[in-house]
Homo-oligomer: A and B are copies of this chain.
Amino acid sequence: MSIEDMIRQMAVDAKEAARGLRRVERPKKDAALNLMAARLKQRKEEIRRENAKDVSLARDNGLSGSMVDRLTLTDKVIDEMSAGLLEVAGLPDPVGQVTGMWRRPNGLQVGRVRIPLGVIGFIYESRPNVTVDAAALCLKSGNAVILKGGSEAIHSNLILAEILRGALAETGLPERAVQVVPTTDRDSVTSLLKMDDLVDLIIPRGGEGLIRFVAANSRIPVLKHYKGVCHIYVDEEADLNLASEVCFNAKVQRPGVCNAMETMLVHESISETFLPIIGKRLKDAGVEIRGCPKTVAIIPGAKIAEESDWPAEFLDLVLAVKIVQNMDEALDHIDRYGSNHTEAIVTKNYGRARRFLAEVDSSVVLVNASTRFNDGYQLGLGAEIGISTSKLHAFGPMGLEELTTTKFIVYGDGQVRT
């Protein structure tokens, strides 16, 4: 069987499974999730054995230490995956929620009801625990999922999927609701991206290269996340201690993630008091500062920023800093260089806080809080399958609701159109 035929068969099976899942009520889905959690713990040794194959191949292939770390399924990681399944079981089921209902003048009662999307293709790199997370969120939201993980995690992903599917079968749910593509051939990705008659949504998760490849080659809608070039604007009326805490947290607490601050914009009138304080603190934490000429004149040791630093996602202990004359200049800078991901203002001024919230065109806009809060759990969605920086369907963190759509239902009494 060719790769394309294999993927088509998987998609056909997924669509059939999705049809079955549409009718399943919450208790059965939760029972399956709970059973999956138990089975993962019971079959730890098998998981570790299969994972060891991936880890050993990764070492042979010269993968970096941090990549091998992310690949490794320790007892602790397996326990966390199991706990994650229980957490998803505890979340409310979005399917069947009535998001609105109204009456028309002719007596029709019209409502909108949440339904699953159908079949989701999930394409990701590296960490095999994503296999379990994604499967759990798709199942809970009533969707079948086809998982295409990184080639370096193939043995781990296959054993995890086998365990999850066993639990589905034991619960009487369609096994094919969770499928892992059993090959590392990249053609399997291009084939999957063509199945627009069977697959409803593609979610890529990984580096910018993967995401651009998927977006450019997919005939299926893609929920994508390119990059997070997140800004904090420190206003002339900022509480400088608060600003220092928020900016430090946003840059240093976890610099390698998409919601870390990459550029700090500082109002001119406070720059000479604020920048020395935050500059020292950041430098003590190992942050390299690349600033506009005025910044460099204030922070000792800061380098001059190049044009390419303003739109950069450093994902590292590097920060671009620019002094601005007013909030308008900050807003212009964000519009020009930002990625519509996450921006924050630090201010005590009510009007500018409101204006910043209204005018910044990003998926999450904050006042007096760290950009690091752009996260499904932190914002109260209960879970997160990714962050979308495009505006269609979902903008910002995606939880269970974002894996559903709504249909209209209409209760009539014989109404016809005239």
Contact = CB atoms under 8 A, between A and B. Distances in A.
A308 interface: no
Interface in A98-149: 102, 104, 108, 110, 113, 115, 117-118
Interface in A342-394: 353, 357-359, 361-370, 372-374, 378-380, 390-394
A408 B378 CA distance: 12
A411 interface: yes
A169 interface: no
Interface string A318-356: 000000000000000001000000000000000001000
Contact of A110 (B248, B362, B380, B392): B380
B200 A369 contact: no
A245 interface: yes
A371 to B, nearest CB: 9
A415 interface: yes
B359 A22 contact: yes
Contact of A22 (B353, B361, B364): B361
The oligomer's copy count stands at: 2
B390 A221 contact: yes
Contacts of A248: 416
B221 A373 contact: no
A410 interface: yes
A407 interface: yes
Given A219-B215, A416-B253, A417-B378, A369 B410 contact: yes
A interface SS class: mixed
Contact of A407 (B22, B221, B246, B362): B362
A108 B373 CA distance: 10
A19 interface: yes
A307 interface: no
Contact of A363 (B221, B380, B408): B408
A201 interface: yes
A192 B47 CA distance: 49
Given A368-B413, A411-B367, A416-B372, A395 B391 contact: no
A260 to B, nearest CB: 10
A220 to B, nearest CB: 9
B414 A369 contact: yes
A23 interface: yes
Contact of A216 (B219, B253, B397, B409): B219
A246 to B, nearest CB: 6
Give the top 10 A-B pairs by smallest Cβ distance, nearest first: A369-B412, A249-B416, A366-B410, A393-B393, A221-B392, A372-B417, A391-B405, A242-B414, A368-B412, A364-B408
8 contacts: A23-B358, A115-B361, A362-B407, A366-B410, A366-B412, A368-B415, A392-B392, A396-B407
Given A367-B412, A379-B408, A393-B393, 9 more contacts: A19-B361, A108-B379, A246-B416, A362-B407, A368-B412, A369-B412, A369-B413, A396-B407, A396-B408
